[in-house]
Structure 1
Amino acid sequence: MGRNDIRRRKLYEEIASEIERRIHAGDYAPGDHLPSERKIMEEFGVGRPAVREALFALSKMGLVLIRSGERAVVTSPTPDVLIQELSGAARSLMATRDGVRMFQDARVLLEVALVRHAAVNATPDDIAELKEALDANRVAVNDRHRFNETDNAFHAQIVSIARNTVIDATYSGLSEWLFEQRQIAMLHPGSPQHAVEAHTRIFEAIAAKDPDAAEAAMRAHLDGVIKQYWSVWEARLSLTE
């Protein structure tokens, strides 16, 4: 391809778009090096800053890996990259009351579907690993930091039964974005004990291969966490008024 002199307001976007097109077309495969910055500059008729911005944009998309002093390498995008790209917008949305409610609802919809799937599809090994996660959560009931870790691990173990990296990444994102909600809900009196009881009911339903009971237990658990969060949130708000 000859010199491609792009004259647009945002040159780096045009360069990134063309390189992205070539990657998707198979011109560059995962593991291949892109041309040097100088060659890209010559091809598109632009300066080094525009090329570096384009490579940075491709890196954020998960399409290339940039190392100092080396040519960019084409990589395979992962679901985690997609979730990371959404993180900034998610945190902005979480700064509003309506935004928090939307993410809470999203978590309920996701985990209710996943717990039904787990109840139908969990293998004996899955159930054994979930039991280990439940036991670790129960032991940590009087250690808030450790309890939060094991609480998340229990839910993540249920998610992993789907064996789907997109779902894993989606749950990881939701868990990260709702981290503060978990922290606040745990301040509600008796919250850890209630959570362990709920986790036990969820585990028993999955082990019994009962998707209806699993759904009911998960829905009741998450609805309770949401109520605990807003109860503590309202109490804190009243102290500032």
Structure 2
Amino acid sequence: MKKDAAPTGQDRIVRRKLSDEVFDRLRAMMASGELPPGAPMPSERDLMERFGVGRPAVREALQHMHTMGLITISHGERSRVNELSADSVLSRVDDVARMLLSSEPEQLEHLKMARRMFECGLVRVAAQAAGPHDIADLRDIVSRQRAETDDAAAFVTLDMAFHNRIAAISQNPILVATSQSLLRWLFQYHGMLLHWSGKEDVTLHEHDQIVDLLEAHDADAAVTAMQAHLDRSNMLYRHH
């Protein structure tokens, strides 16, 4: 009699942990609306009875949900379902991004390239969609930035505000959150303040030019101006 063939990697059945099953059930309850944002989570005892599992499996699943930002666990209070947004999701990878950029310096060049491609796309959208209120906001940011040339930290904060305000013109929360994350990783984790001094006037001139092109709805010229601005400013970023 012919023996059955040994199972291949694709055929092999992997036994899942009970906590993983509990996690999947709870996530499905959130997706279906049974556990909407802000709702209190069922007690551990209720979950144990509902799923027929022990306390360790429930606690491990809840801790996993807390780590992922799906729920907030407060001592002495019932855990609650978090309100998810693009920003809250992306902000949770900040620590991982910091470790990646610190342990693999070459990743900084990849990040700068990604930002260049991303912002050139954003500025094209902004040139097509910018209204008077958007232009007024951008000019106000540049004006405030011009008043902070002696305060490097304030100047850089307003620089971030300028680029994030361009992203906001898209009215796309995922694009806005991505813009904020890219800038946060670049500005927070690299000692570029030491390399910023003396470039303030050039930066302000480039910002003025970009705003003028957005107001004129000249998408091609705005992209070219943003490319030149980022190619120059990318040289300011250095590792600590």
TM-score by length of 2: 0.83
d(CA) in 1 for partners of 2:80 and 2:236? 48
d(CA) in 2 for partners of 1:79 and 1:57? 20
**Percent identity over paired residues:** 37
Instruction: Quote the residue 2:108 is aligned against.
Output: 100
**Structure 1: 5+ residue runs without aligned partners?**
1-7, 237-241
| More deviation, 36-45/148-157 | 36-45
Code of the aligned partner of 1:145: A
CA distance 1:177–1:214, shift in 2 (3 Å) = same
Code of the aligned partner of 1:24: A
Displacement after TM superposition at 1:181 (Å)? 6.6
Instruction: Quote the residue 1:5 is aligned against.
Output: none
The answer on 1:141 being equivalent to 2:141 is no
Code of the aligned partner of 2:97: A
CA distance 1:186–1:47, shift in 2 (3 Å) = same
The answer on 1:178 being equivalent to 2:183 is no
* SS class of match (2:237): helix
Code of the aligned partner of 1:39: D
Structural mapping, 1:1-241, within 5 Å: 10-95=17-102, 96-180=104-188, 183-184=191-192, 187-188=195-196, 190-229=198-237
Deviations 1:16-44 (A, max 9, x none): 11211222233333343332111212334
Instruction: Quote the residue 2:7 is aligned against.
Output: none
8 Å Cα contact 1:201-1:217 kept in structure 2: yes
Deviations 1:131-173 (A, max 9, x none): 1011011111121111111111111111111111111211111
Displacement after TM superposition at 1:79 (Å)? 0.9
RMSD of aligned alpha carbons: 2.3
8 Å Cα contact 1:121-1:161 kept in structure 2: yes
Code of the aligned partner of 1:111: E
d(CA) in 1 for partners of 2:63 and 2:189? 33
Code of the aligned partner of 1:206: L
CA distance 1:113–1:221, shift in 2 (3 Å) = same
CA distance 1:32–1:189, shift in 2 (3 Å) = closer
8 Å Cα contact 1:126-1:161 kept in structure 2: yes
Code of the aligned partner of 1:123: G
d(CA) in 1 for partners of 2:24 and 2:91? 20
Deviations 1:51-81 (A, max 9, x none): 2331232234343333333333334421123
CA distance 1:173–1:154, shift in 2 (3 Å) = same
| More deviation, 131-140/39-48 | 39-48
d(CA) in 2 for partners of 1:194 and 1:57? 48
Code of the aligned partner of 1:55: L
Displacement after TM superposition at 1:9 (Å)? 6.2
d(CA) in 2 for partners of 1:60 and 1:152? 28
CA distance 1:228–1:65, shift in 2 (3 Å) = closer
Structure 1 or 2: larger helix share? 1
Across the two proteins, how many residue pairs are aligned to each other?
Answer: 225
